[in-house]
Amino acid sequence: MGAGNGSVCLVGGAVLGEGMSRPEAPTHDSQDAKRSRRLSPYTGWCGRCGMTWNDVPSHDTSFTATTSCFPLCAACWTRLETPAARLPYYRALWQQWVEAEEAYRLAHPGRPAAINGQPYEALWEQIQAAVGGGH
C-alpha cells in the first residue's frame, strides 16, 4: 500500500533479495488506475495494477496472529498464481516499512531497528513464510 518514496537502502545490501525487483510504482499501471489514485490520493493502492483500495478489494495476508499486510489486490494476487511471483510485491512493501522506520529513527536516537518489536529481517521472514504458504 502507499506510494514508495525514495530509494535509499538504509540497512545495506541485504535488504533486497538477490534478483528481486523492487516495484516503487504499479508494475501494470492503467488509465483507470491513474484515475483511481487521483480521486483517492491518500488511499493505498495495489502494487501491481495501481488501483486504490477504494476501488478494488485487497488480498490480506496474515503473517502473525494479529498482523496482516496487503500489497496486492485480490484480482492481481490470483493472477500472479505463485508465491514466487507475488513475493516481490511483499518485499517492496516491507522495504517501504523499513525506510519509514529508519527515517523515524533518525529523529529518535536509541530506538531499536525494529517494527512492532520485530527486527526487520525477522519480520521479513514471517511475511515470506506466509506468502510461501499460499496466504
Among 36, 37, 45, 48, binds Zn ion (CB under 5 A): 48
Under the binding rule (CB under 5 A), the answer on residue 37 touching Zn ion is no
Given CA atoms 111, 116, 119, 124 in this order, what sign does their dihedral have?
negative
Beta carbon of residue 46, minimum distance to Zn ion (angstroms, whole number):
3
Under the binding rule (CB under 5 A), the answer on residue 123 touching Zn ion is no
Under the binding rule (CB under 5 A), the answer on residue 73 touching Zn ion is yes
Under the binding rule (CB under 5 A), the answer on residue 46 touching Zn ion is yes
118 DSSP 8-state letter: E
* Helix, strand, coil percentages in the chain from 3-state DSSP, rounded to 5: 40, 10, 50
Q: Report the interface residues with Zn ion, using CB under 5 A.
A: 46, 48-49, 73, 76
